[in-house]
Amino acid sequence: MSHQSLKVGLSTASCSPHLVLILPRLLVPLAIALSLGFCLAGQAGEPAAAPTLASRATFGDVKGTLVIVGGGATPHEVHQRFLELAGGVNAHLVIIPTANPNADRYQTLKSFVAWRSTKVQSVFFLHTRSRDQANDPVFVRPLTRATGVWFCGGDQSRILAAYRGTAVERELHHVLDRGGVIGGTSAGAAIMSPVMITGGKTEASVGTGFGFLPGFVVDQHFKQRNRFGRLLGVLRKHPQLFGLGIDEKTAVIVHGHSLRVMGESNVRFYLPGGQSREQLLDRASKPLDLATLTAQVQAEPVSHDSAPRTPSGTAAFSHNMGNR
């Protein structure tokens, strides 16, 4: 059997930038069920909270599409949906493994084999630890034609340390602006929101994410790592934000102002206001209209003495969600 040719530019320095172009000629078939979850697992300083609840619910439409996975093995249907959104066989993919501690040797990762066998027009692996390299026009060029970008799991702070405020971040936003799709799992989910959880077991430390999903804060491995109290603590400090707690093997798909759930488990959706007003969502749930919810929350009277009411048409579940 013939093997596809690889154009590989590598450096012997452990922290040097790497770029791989993979062009599908005779591609090795691979079941699409190989999970994107094989991608294993900023600028510091907490963004200031809104001074009053009147400034809450700052969501804005997503021009492209986001595929946000809560970690664990990515289900087949989510993998397939990401590829469809990126253009199917016509897709130009960029895979960013920078969150992984072994990203400097990403050719050894199981995900490398899976991605290079994907039947699409092209696949790039884009990785560096150097911010200077992240501003190099040659390095960022694959993003200028990308129809889909995927962030692998690991430590989200590694992603922000390399790319926040660089040409890479600028081109990522351009991917969405022209209608492309950006997806990620675990650490790749955390970077989606403007306020990014960087760590902490019961009380979160936060930094500044890429802000692909404006007006939100995202937490992952939610039920499996008992992160209810952690996320609610961030929402109390940032009452203008919606909250998403995404379980493993589960994804949130956001396009425009529509939010839907795919996968095997649940998503907890929290309304702004600093209170634990929660909806429990799964794949059978009706998609949420974020524009309508934003308008309803913004229309609520500001009250500092009592919990804000739940917008009409929104199911709320009462939980005692302190740190457990």
Asked if residue 29 is part of any domain, the answer here is no
- Give pLDDT, residue 275: 63
Tell me, yes or no, whether 313 lies in a domain. no
* 143 within domain boundaries: yes
Q: Give me the average pLDDT of each 10-residue run along the chain (324 residues).
A: 32 40 43 42 42 53 95 95 97 97 88 90 96 98 98 96 98 97 97 94 93 95 95 93 96 96 97 82 96 87 46 36 30
pLDDT of residue 166: 98
Q: Under DSSP, is residue 76 helix (H, G, I), strand (E, B) or coil? A: helix
205-208 vs 258-263, strand pairing mode = unpaired
Residue whose structure tokens are 């400097």: 104
What's the one-letter identity of residue 310? T
* DSSP single-letter state for residue 223: T
Q: Which is nearest to 85 in space by CA: 16, 167, 175, 14? A: 175
Range of the structural domain that residue 158 is part of: 17-24+47-299
Q: How far is CA 224 from CA 10, 66, 230, 265, in A?
A: 38, 23, 13, 11
Q: Does 38 reside within a domain? A: no
pLDDT number for residue 30: 40
Residue 2 has what pLDDT? 34
Total domains present in the chain: 1
Structure confidence at residue 192 (pLDDT): 97
Query: Tell me, what's the pLDDT at 302?
Result: 58
pTM: 0.78
Distance CA 10, CA 157 (A): 24
So what's the pLDDT on residue 72? 94
Structure confidence at residue 46 (pLDDT): 44
Percent of the chain that is helix, strand, coil (3-state, to 5): 25, 25, 50
CB-based burial label for 92 (10 Å; 0-12, 13-18, 19+): buried
What is the structure's pLDDT at 61?
A: 86
The answer to whether residue 123 is domain-embedded is: yes
pLDDT at 243: 95
- Domain at 61, CATH number: 3.40.50.880
Contacts of 130 (CB under 8 A, 6+ apart): 15, 16, 17, 162
Token output for 43: 């600028």
Note whether residue 34 is domain-resident. Answer: no
35 lies in some domain: no
- 52 falls within a domain: yes
